[in-house]
Structure 1
């Protein structure tokens, strides 16, 4: 059996790794020079940067065992400290309403509690369709306007009333004002089960990309991982895919296989199918959008800026959405203990005014925000800076996206030797553990399994909660 894998990110490499382990022939086609997708690690003058902090945490013990066996003592345990920077002070993340209440002062706290009580007594009428609908019903309008609205719109670039409620129900499910205040005030007296957030995570000592470089090396002992290989056509004959056509630095190649697994963006993959799908499928693919991502990587002549693994920038007047200090995950992310680095994350749409800025302009923009405005360091301490741009980084879950997405998924199901996996491959906001799981399951489906990949991360549970027993 021969399988072709479209995309060398976490999902694609997981599928290739599993098939290789069981002796099957595999070819991976990856567009970028490095594998790992958004979980790769970029090297620059002795500094290492993830594209956003990619810590390892999963509730799936099979995946934990896999990661430990893959990396061994190169997998570190890191205390988690994640906070929101808002109004010149820090708040817990994910938002703990008790912390937010007491941090804002008695008057604002009273307003938040009163507003929350009002929506619990008389919930707003109508269906819960948008992020705005869901969050107001859970927290009240005051807290929604204060904390959730501006940051969410900064990340997604559209109004909260146009974002699907799916986003809120997955990312902040189980965190309500009443439960958080009760937990904060009465935790020592509560019996039974409470939900809390993980207090540590695992992290590869040389960055998240070490995971995928290690997987790549194992795959290449028997099979091929082709980088700088961009899939431009998925060639079908009726209901079967026969081959893919890809552009490489030395020309165009065609890869034939019996089975195909795609982790590249679902919309791009469908639009590359030749002969083209029916018109309604093409329309559906063109209607779904993604949010693009930029990291401005800064190298700084100071031993440490903060103790945080990452910080969300809530300030409405700033475009930066999150920043992370790689050294706080692993000391090996910098060339010397005397220096540190900072990744400043921005969200935009490809082709918009921000995306069109030059790299030098983006570095200067980030320095103005983080050094001159937020005062996290002095611009005289800047050693160097560069930019990492990522197209189609996040599926944009706009209100009403379900319809077009189901059209695409139903069409893919008609192609008998094609499976879709991963975050962008399935158009679902998955973390890297979910992406790896989808890759493993797709591979096992080719070896006689019957796994429903759509069930991965389908429960909508908050991804970093754990359940503790209290007495």
Structure 2
């Protein structure tokens, strides 16, 4: 005898749940067989990898590191790490520290695509037509670019913030308390508003607790000192004692994150699960405090079918989930809050260029006309682009022609706004002109480009989100319905934490646990738990 789990969505959370059911079949009273329904034609959700003429796009960038031992082993079980020329890394998981000898334990990326590359992280801020380290460090280049007067104001502002902290009623106070008002005004305010499209004072401080965590000037300085005195020590890819924004090394699939999730999908089907692509769950039927069936639409034919199940795991946007529930009365306050939950949408403009035109730019190998960065945060107020990815530095295998530079311009938008509705060719031309305007490329060096639009990329922490607890209370009342993942929980999770929510949901099902607080307690790091301000 076996039970059936209907899994909505084939992103990291949905596929993790499906894979966990199949690999842990002997842990519960009976096996649970997953049936996954994915509305799109792509595996991986926003962790998919899009191929444009051999150039691969990673949507938003996905560094593979985690402070969760479970997740680190999970990833490496799917894709082993590469040979590293004899360099030793220390992998920490399952409560143990294990040295990893790159040549003895690794695989050669030249002979297989099933491999994790070991990558160095570098992100910088581009502001005042100059580069600043991200996070900000008090190095000579920083002080030179900021100037003595601005630097002095930053110092006194930070001291004031530490001595007289503000009550944190919004994200604005959260930032000021950790960095001081002057540094906040210089590096945080305009970029945050570019990302979210609303004043920082309108955003709940929960977002800071989720994404910025304990990072502050003092943590940044402490990290710099520690780094200085530990340059010759073996690297720890898990980096459990490092704030996420300070991570220096990470694992990365040779062909992008989507490749890993495609391999997971293959294993799910090999082990007896099923994945139906281009099939959307459009209705959920309830009987008392249980969900008993789902209405599934074949997006190719429009045909509807009813799929019964014992458990339902949802990664679909919360507003769509609530709207889909049938056969029970959804309280008006719950439906109103869910319908009004805000999201931020995302556009990547991929550009293939001959070279970058930033004066003095060289990459990690000393090649001119390139930069060593994974991300460049564009703080310039005279352009709309928010961030720039350099895919060459995520993985050289993601670039079709190694003599070109493959970049992704990231725009944070609202579905239906003027950028979202702009024709692809016009948007590519607009992106080229923006990078040329701020001195990153010469328009004559542009070769070709593409546009990728993604809806509901970022669940937002303002507006109706303030009443999200009302929605959570309602859905938690269905004993066999489990919300997991970023959109499934309306929480700005990293990839590994989306996976952990799915693992906790499977744990509950296999052990018969009815309380779902452990799922909601998974936060940005295992040791950090989000507590909404009352």
Same fold (TM over 0.5): yes
Query: C-alpha root-mean-square deviation of aligned residues, in Å?
Result: 2.4
Aligned-partner SS, 1:323: strand
Q: Is the 8 A contact 1:170 1:461 kept in 2?
A: no
Query: 2-side partners of 1:328 and 1:287: how far apart?
Result: 39
Q: Is the 8 A contact 1:165 1:399 kept in 2?
A: no
Aligned match of 1:290: 343
Query: 1-side partners of 2:219 and 2:34: how far apart?
Result: 49
Q: Is the 8 A contact 1:83 1:311 kept in 2?
A: yes
Aligned match of 1:430: 493
Of residues 27-36 and 333-342 in structure 1, the stretch that sits farther from structure 2 once superposed is: 333-342
Query: 2-side partners of 1:415 and 1:291: how far apart?
Result: 28
Aligned match of 2:264: 215
Aligned match of 2:234: none
Instruction: Please say if 1:456 is aligned against 2:522.
Output: yes
**How far did 1:115 drift?**
2.0
Unpaired runs of 5+ residues, structure 1, are 464-471
**How far did 1:446 drift?**
1.8
**How far did 1:394 drift?**
0.7
Aligned match of 2:317: 265
Instruction: Please say if 1:108 is aligned against 2:150.
Output: yes
Query: 2-side partners of 1:134 and 1:328: how far apart?
Result: 32
**How far did 1:183 drift?**
5.9
Q: Is the 8 A contact 1:305 1:377 kept in 2?
A: no
Query: 2-side partners of 1:233 and 1:107: how far apart?
Result: 60
Pick from 383, 391, 399: which aligns with 1:334? 399
Q: Is the 8 A contact 1:299 1:385 kept in 2?
A: yes
Of structures 1 and 2, the one scoring higher in RCO (CA 8 A, sep 6+) is 1
Query: 2-side partners of 1:180 and 1:41: how far apart?
Result: 32
Query: 2-side partners of 1:207 and 1:449: how far apart?
Result: 36
**How far did 1:298 drift?**
1.4
**How far did 1:139 drift?**
2.2
Of residues 282-291 and 270-279 in structure 1, the stretch that sits farther from structure 2 once superposed is: 270-279
Instruction: Please say if 1:365 is aligned against 2:439.
Output: no
Distance 1:459 1:208, change over 3 A: closer
Query: 1-side partners of 2:254 and 2:437: how far apart?
Result: 32
Q: Is the 8 A contact 1:97 1:180 kept in 2?
A: no
Aligned match of 2:64: 56
Aligned match of 1:467: none
Query: 2-side partners of 1:173 and 1:101: how far apart?
Result: 25
Query: 1-side partners of 2:176 and 2:351: how far apart?
Result: 37
1:75-94 superposed Cα distances (whole Å, 9 cap, x missing partner): 11001111111111111112
Pick from 433, 438, 442: which aligns with 1:374? 438
- What pairs up with 1:53-452 in 2 under 5 angstroms? 53-72=61-80, 73=107, 74-96=115-137, 100-101=142-143, 103-124=145-166, 127-181=167-221, 184=224, 197-221=246-270, 222-248=272-298, 249-250=300-301, 251-275=303-327, 276-302=329-355, 305-370=370-435, 372-398=436-462, 401-402=465-466, 404-448=467-511, 450=513, 452=518
Q: Is the 8 A contact 2:67 2:526 kept in 1?
A: no
Aligned match of 1:466: none
1:53-100 superposed Cα distances (whole Å, 9 cap, x missing partner): 112010111211111111124111001111111111111112336675
**How far did 1:387 drift?**
1.1
Query: 1-side partners of 2:223 and 2:352: how far apart?
Result: 40
Aligned match of 1:2: 4
Query: How many residues end up aligned between the 2 structures?
Result: 457
Query: 2-side partners of 1:100 and 1:397: how far apart?
Result: 31
Query: 2-side partners of 1:395 and 1:183: how far apart?
Result: 30
1:227-273 superposed Cα distances (whole Å, 9 cap, x missing partner): 11122111222222121112221222322211100011112111111
Distance 1:368 1:445, change over 3 A: same
Query: 2-side partners of 1:318 and 1:357: how far apart?
Result: 16
Distance 1:185 1:351, change over 3 A: same
Distance 1:428 1:86, change over 3 A: same
- Normalized against structure 2, the TM-score is what? 0.80
Unpaired runs of 5+ residues, structure 2, are 26-30, 81-106, 108-114, 231-239, 356-366, 530-534
- Normalized against structure 1, the TM-score is what? 0.91
Distance 1:129 1:100, change over 3 A: farther
Distance 1:246 1:382, change over 3 A: farther
Q: Is the 8 A contact 2:116 2:254 kept in 1?
A: yes
**How far did 1:327 drift?**
1.8
